A and B are shown apart, each in its own frame.
Chain A
Amino acid sequence: MEKIDISTILASAIHESKNQVGTLLYQLQGLKDSTGKNDLSLKRIVLIEESLKKLNDEWVEYLYLYRLASDGYDLHVDTFLLDEFLDDQVFALQPSANAKSLELEYNCDEHLTGIFDERLMTAVVSTAVYNALRFAKSKIHINAKMENNFLIISIEDDGEGFKQIDTEDQFDEFPEGNTGLGLYFAELSATAHVISDIRGFIKKESSNVLGGASLTVYLPQPIDLIS
């Protein structure tokens, strides 16, 4: 009997389910439009909508994860203005933060540009923010800066922070109730970025400003563009 590639089957199953979530979101949008602003059910509809969006984003992450891990992903890098890129991310994730009464903002030099795969980094940032949403007490900050030919994007919160028990093992200490897939995905995405043999990487740190966890993504940049 031919051997079944279970990961491929799972990936396409996720894809199918993701499409159904898309249809549900469309239908929910219609329901939302026909619900009065003062209707009590509107709040619940918004909550359902946010959960579905999160589910959709998570499945997108899994699909990329599958492709990255099975070498089926072609990186498409381009130049982006970080101010625009992060503004997009905050715009997309703001409703989720609002739903939990958390503050979400970004910080970067308005002229900062960087080279990266937009789709992957969108998925990485949203994964990190969704994660931070579970632990933050009041705020989440996204920062970007350029240092030593690396574009550095960090997602920080004011929660308890990563447990500092075992700094050797990247994945053991991941907060409870989580599979660690998010970090693994961020790591694969970062290392997929290569410029002149220099690979990207991630760091789990504690946030100097907010005191909680900080997931920092380092993406290599070409040298002559920064000078």
Chain B
Amino acid sequence: MAQQDFSKKKALLIEDMAEARIMQRKMLTDFGFTSIDIAMKAETAIELLRNKSFDVILSDYNLGNGKDGQQLLEEVRHSKLIPNTATYLMVTAETSIEMVMGAIEYQPDGYITKPFSQAVLQRRLSKLLETKERLYDVNVALDENNFAEAITAAKLVIKKYPSLLGKCERIIGESLLEIKEYKKALSLFNKTLKSRKMPWALFGKAKSYFLMGELEKAEKSFRQLMLDNRFFVSAYDWLAKIQVLQGKIEEAQATLIEAIDRSPKNILRQMELGNISLSINDFLMAEMSFRRAVFLAKYSCYNTADVYLKHLESLARISDNGPLLPRQKDNFNSTLKKVHELFFEEPSNKSKAYSYEIDIYLADNDKSTAKQIFEAWLSEVKSASATAPTKEQSAHYNKSFGG
């Protein structure tokens, strides 16, 4: 193993416990890192990752009350906040490794179990960086979304470094899915499954079937994954997608509720449950999911207007059946306030927020306030800072105002 030169690498250390943080920082400094940024929680780490690029991210799994290391990893990988060329090393306790390994979809490049000595950390990092170097061409192609090139590069790596076979096969399979070569992907995953029962290969097989439209076969594989690996909650998300496509919306909702039971902090899953619940007019469930999503959005990569507006919408739909409870009204106002603060520049967001607000006041039979809001909306339409209400909306409101 070649000795790595860490002095030019930029490191991000994410650890909530002061003692461990000081220790790990010292270790990193001692074997050559000169640039080390520190985050005490996931939210700070996301800010740092947004504004700076890092070569090495050393993150604890357990990060206190906020997001855990795995959720952080999933979010920053999913939103491409860290390139594939960067190395993500997860620090785990014995109990959390299974969670990390069970994630399948987004795995760190490596993990290290507490307690570890400086020598062990240095060695682990050196090896991971060496592997990253060997996979450099592959990862650059992946970062450029050039999947054909990634496949070619990965095949070369297999020839040169047989021990990277598993990693490369996985990259090739997933790249084949990206370029819609589903049959080729499926046969590759099947080949891997024959010799090794790798969870990622079974996951790849399930996705291949899903993308080929073979929903029943896909469902069978996803259910197998759920049986094999109780920490792989993503399988539930996929099963729910299948159930939606099969028109079994209530079943999809139940699947997602079960997934959220196991892993409640995933904002995309909360959003999905919210949307599905809206579509079957289960507004109470929708409100609960979007309320949680609003809570999770604040420090996440998915802090979009949609999360907040959907929460308002679900409350507006609840109010169709009668005035909101005081608690619900508080929720409405608190989310509305956030929309005002964060997303009021965009004309279409404004009009949505206005319409939901009118609905709430109408449910309270407070026609004059509702009317005032409507007039404010119309005047903003004139100055082109809000989009106009639809004909149906105008007709409905005018009728409700008793005009």
Contacts and interface: CB of A to CB of B under 8 A. Distances in A.
Interface of A: 15, 18-19, 21-23, 25-26, 29-30, 33, 56, 60, 63, 74, 76-81, 84, 87-88, 91-92, 111, 113, 115, 119, 195, 222-225
Contacts of B194: 222, 224
A63 B97 CA distance: 13
B93 A19 contact: yes
Contact of B195 (A18, A92, A225): A225
Contact of B94 (A18, A26, A88, A113): A18
A77 B127 contact: no
A76 B201 CA distance: 12
A195 B195 CA distance: 8
B95 A15 contact: yes
Contacts of A15: 94-95
Interface stretch (B81-89, B111-119, B259-267): B111-119
B165 interface: yes
B229 interface: yes
B396 interface: no
Nearest to A12: B95
A29 B195 CA distance: 43
Given A78-B166, A79-B163, A63 B115 contact: no
B101 A76 contact: yes
A91 B228 CA distance: 33
A31 B228 CA distance: 45
Given A79-B163, A84-B163, A222-B195, A74 B229 contact: yes
Contacts of B195: 115, 195, 222-225
Nearest to B127: A84
Given A26-B19, A26-B115, A84-B127, 14 more contacts: A23-B115, A26-B20, A74-B98, A74-B101, A74-B102, A74-B228, A78-B196, A79-B166, A79-B196, A81-B162, A115-B195, A195-B195, A222-B196, A225-B195
26 contacts: A15-B95, A19-B114, A22-B115, A23-B19, A29-B23, A29-B117, A29-B118, A33-B26, A74-B101, A74-B228, A74-B230, A74-B231, A76-B101, A76-B199, A78-B196, A78-B198, A80-B163, A92-B120, A113-B162, A113-B163, A113-B165, A115-B195, A119-B97, A222-B194, A222-B195, A224-B194
